[in-house]
Structure 1
């Protein structure tokens, strides 16, 4: 009953506040047709990312984990005409779907999909002295979240926002005895954040069409 209610509430808010969007719906359909896992953010969560990027006045956005490009579309739509979104994807098939979806959305001039291990792509951005990103969205393999977050700190500046998705793991994050590699990594991530004076952070539990999970927000301190 609870999950049916979560689905209904998500559907209600998405209908009222997100609405019908043929481009996003086509992106979802293309991902499904290509056999991608149905793990993209929900429409209301995509709108949240969009609003966060707008609130940040983001000109440069970094996404770790592209999948089919659904969240990338939401983020890239918040950019000015001269803005930049770099999104990192390890799977060539996923990257191909994402590039097509971004092109269909008319965002190919501001959005770039970089193929390869995210750890390698992040290291390359650091080595190249990339201009700081205003917003970083981390939504890839959970075991690497501590490394991704550490790299995000190197690629941001005071005032930047870092968002890490899927940090609750249906409540397992609160279990210190868990041997689930994703849970162990997420707990290590939060130990890192708690000890990091350069950020102010909080985590929020969520329920909805994607189940019981949550996200962490960390603002780089001035």
Structure 2
């Protein structure tokens, strides 16, 4: 009986073409000692297609890591688009910058160094973002969602990653700070009138997890 890893491999091999640039980005990330917590290839392609479907030209990413998902986003926005990505660790940002340059998309990406909670307020007042991808420390999910609404506009697409946590998100008694962050993010999306949202479970080479997908439906709070 095929396993979910077999299915993931089949989908990846069938739906994604070989891409030495992306392979090199992952190698550089892993050789630098970063954890293998980047989005799986099929999920990265989903993010890429979602960006294109939304017609997004300005994208905000919270959590760069080695720039793997950033490359997918940068390709999706096109040569006239812009990706702003936030990374807390200088070493990660350096690897990401090199990966973006190798991929030929560095001219459409700006890496902002610092914790998301500190960097996001500096973006207030600028042109709104069309899509926001949140994939950073889970404890700050509600803060990131609030800023996604503030820095977006009605119709802005928001993707919140890693919301299922191997099913632990359903445990109301959890003491795990990451799971609590995921739960609070989901609860915020369900109660905050600025958002209309849903969530999907995923099962791929990285195991059982999921994403929340939302759009901003009301103007950001003043």
Number of residues paired by the alignment?
218
1:176 aligns to 2:172 (yes or no): yes
Structure 2 counterparts to residues 1-222 of structure 1, below 5 A: 5-126=3-124, 129-221=125-217
The 1-side partners of 2:188 and 2:55 are apart by 27
Superposed displacement of residue 27, structure 1: 0.2
The 2-side partners of 1:141 and 1:198 are apart by 22
Does the Cα contact within 8 Å between 2:157 and 2:213 map onto a contact in 1?
A: yes
Superposed displacement of residue 80, structure 1: 2.6
Indicate the SS of the match to 2:76: coil
Indicate the SS of the match to 1:7: helix
The 2-side partners of 1:147 and 1:198 are apart by 14
Superposed displacement of residue 138, structure 1: 0.2
Superposed displacement of residue 194, structure 1: 1.3
The 1-side partners of 2:30 and 2:183 are apart by 32
Normalising by structure 1, we get a TM-score of 0.96
The 2-side partners of 1:179 and 1:37 are apart by 23
| Runs of 4+ with deviation above 2 angstroms | none
Indicate the SS of the match to 2:209: strand
Superposed displacement of residue 221, structure 1: 1.5
Please report the RMSD computed on the Cα atoms of aligned residues, expressed in angstroms.
1.1
Indicate the SS of the match to 1:78: helix
Superposed displacement of residue 175, structure 1: 0.6
Indicate the SS of the match to 2:18: coil
Superposed displacement of residue 12, structure 1: 0.8
Does the Cα contact within 8 Å between 2:163 and 2:186 map onto a contact in 1?
A: no
Does the Cα contact within 8 Å between 2:87 and 2:116 map onto a contact in 1?
A: yes
The 2-side partners of 1:190 and 1:36 are apart by 27
Structure 2 unpaired stretches of 5+: none
Structure 1 unpaired stretches of 5+: none
The 1-side partners of 2:51 and 2:12 are apart by 19
String of CA shifts for 1:35-57, please: whole Å, max 9, x gaps: 11111011101100000000010
